[in-house]
Amino acid sequence: MNHLLPIPLTTFVSELPADPDGSNSCRSIEKAAYSWVTPCTTKATQIICCNQVLATSLGFDQQATKSQNFADLVSGNLRDPNIKSYAMNYGGHQFGQWAGQLGDGRAINLGQYQLLDSQQHVTLQLKGAGKTPYSRRGDGKAVLRSSIREYLCSEAMYHLGIPTTRALTLTLTGEEVIRDKLYDGHAAYEPCAIVARVSPSFLRFGSLQLPASRGDIETLQQTLDYCIRHDYAALVPKSGIIDKDVYLAWFEQLCKRTAHLIVEWMRVGFVHGVLNTDNMSLIGETIDYGPYGWIDNFDLDWTPNTSDASEGRYRFGQQAYIAQWNLFQLANAIYPLINEAEPLQNIFNHYNHLYNVKWLKMMREKLGIVKNTNINDSTLIKSDQELCKDLETLLSAINTDMTLFYRTLADYPMRACPQNSQQLQAHFSNCFYNQEEVTESYLQQLSEWLIRYQKRLLLTELDDQQRKIHMDAVNPCYILRNFQVQEAIESAEQGDYSKVLVLAELIKSPYRQQAEYQQFEMKRLDWARNKFGCSALSCSS
């Protein structure tokens, strides 16, 4: 059944310079923010997941999402003269090295849609829709396993309250491509899929870095002005003139958003895995879900990305530093628009302080340490920092499940006796991966920390029930555990999508304990400790 679909806007392509060469061939593309490209047609169209709430906000009601036109739209098969599809041009630093031009190698944008409940416009993008002028040696396709991971994780992050791109649909294309997912010479055919994803902006740090690296100040300024006018409109003065002061205010805002984003990742135990500058959003969203992972046992040195295993550049505990490093590269890129190093440096130097303030606030919330207005906060900052850092040291000392620990801590009575080692071990036993590691020495350390914690709680004026409510509101009961996603992927590759659908429902209420999903309140199983897809992933997708 055909159905009339909303017509997308062409804001991006009408305000930014286009690649004059309309051919879909890989080449160096200069003085252009994008290239025109049409998605490949697919052999079949089977929508596995459809985010109806998001679809409705974009103007696609239930009748529309069941139509053939909608299926064709999200699979790249719809040929509509109103859709001006394009791939974006950008560069980036990858693993600390400038990589030059990169661009949307397998993402094709279909235009902007206005959200029905606001004046905000969002871009609809198809990931895995075929080759573009930026595909280099790739085929522009995405396999089912990486598409499932993208769909589920972006929605999990959204429902956790973390800034992120959204997923509209997950669609099978009926095609297969060869991938060497372990980079070990054992390539095999895998099914293809397309994720239709949505964001107010898919501009990245690299969108500004590339023209700056080429001395193309005109495209640099056009791109940044577009970002400010559409995504930071409050910064635009009444005169409409964007000058140096606006650029500096914008950079300051982006630093704040980026610090907030990384703190939020640390709150839930998310590791992006490949924080290159082309994977950093100019609006402070989580973008590009590749070899990401979620912390099971608390480990600041863990990285899920096999390509980063030796260096650990993008490991869990270094994400704040890497974000700062990336912001420094961005500051260098926009310098030609400001021509003053000192104000940029001042903003950049403030990032560390900003992050640390946000991090401490987050950790206090995780611990149920709610501010008492009768106490001077400055007198507690140092002691609270030590309390939080010492907890991280404690969690790292033995294999302790991060998610389960904080939920279990919320149930620990404020007036319990931590010195009773048997009761202590019994209360937290479900958090430990190896009971043999729980020695008397460790329990003594845990007891000493809990005594300090209980003393600190006396200053919050919350009873146990109130504290649990506060803590459970920021410490999720459910995260998208790596092994559970891998189980869903393996079933889906055999044609059974039920586990994917269950996870898609589970993640909608991550903070509320759900009786029907009790089986997901568990730590990583032993078989998943060293299994590919559960403890390590590659960039192959």
Q: Residues with catalytic annotation?
A: 278
DSSP state of 128: T
Q: What share of the chain is helix, strand, coil (3-state, %, to 5)?
A: 45, 15, 40
Q: What is the 3-state secondary structure (H, E, C) of 1-44?
A: CCCCCCCCECHHHHHCCECCCCCCCCCCCCCCCEEECCCCCCCC
Long-range Cβ pairs for the range 337-340 (8 Å, 24+): 337/217, 337/220, 337/221, 337/224, 337/244, 337/247, 338/244, 338/247, 338/248, 339/244, 340/244
Tell me the two tokens of residue 480.
């998208």
Instruction: Tell me if residue 172 falls in helix, strand or coil.
Output: strand
CB within 8 Å of 211: residues ≥ 6 apart: 31, 217, 218, 219, 220, 223
Q: How far is CA 530 from CA 17, 77, 187, 525, 537, in A?
A: 48, 40, 20, 10, 11
How far apart are alpha carbons 114 and 25 in whole angstroms?
32
Determine the angle formed by the axes of helices 464-472 and 341-366, rounding to 10 degrees.
130
Closest to 277 measured CA to CA, from 92, 104, 107, 95 = 92
Residue 242 and residue 232 in contact, taking contact as beta carbons nearer than 8 Å:
no
How far apart are alpha carbons 523 and 481 in whole angstroms?
8
How far apart are alpha carbons 256 and 259 in whole angstroms?
5
**Going by DSSP bridges, is the β-strand pair 34-36/86-88 parallel, antiparallel, or unpaired?**
antiparallel
DSSP state of 129: B
Q: How far apart are the first and last CA of the chain?
A: 33
**Going by DSSP bridges, is the β-strand pair 188-199/86-88 parallel, antiparallel, or unpaired?**
unpaired
Alpha-carbon 420 to chain mean position: 41
Instruction: Tell me if residue 274 falls in helix, strand or coil.
Output: coil
Q: Which residues pair with 129 in a beta bridge?
A: 141
Q: How far is CA 16 from CA 7, 33, 39, 462, in A?
A: 20, 6, 21, 54
Residue corresponding to tokens 């499932």: 148
Residue 111 and residue 126 in contact, taking contact as beta carbons nearer than 8 Å:
no
The radius of gyration of the chain's CA atoms, rounded to the nearest angstrom, is 24
How far apart are alpha carbons 358 and 506 in whole angstroms?
28
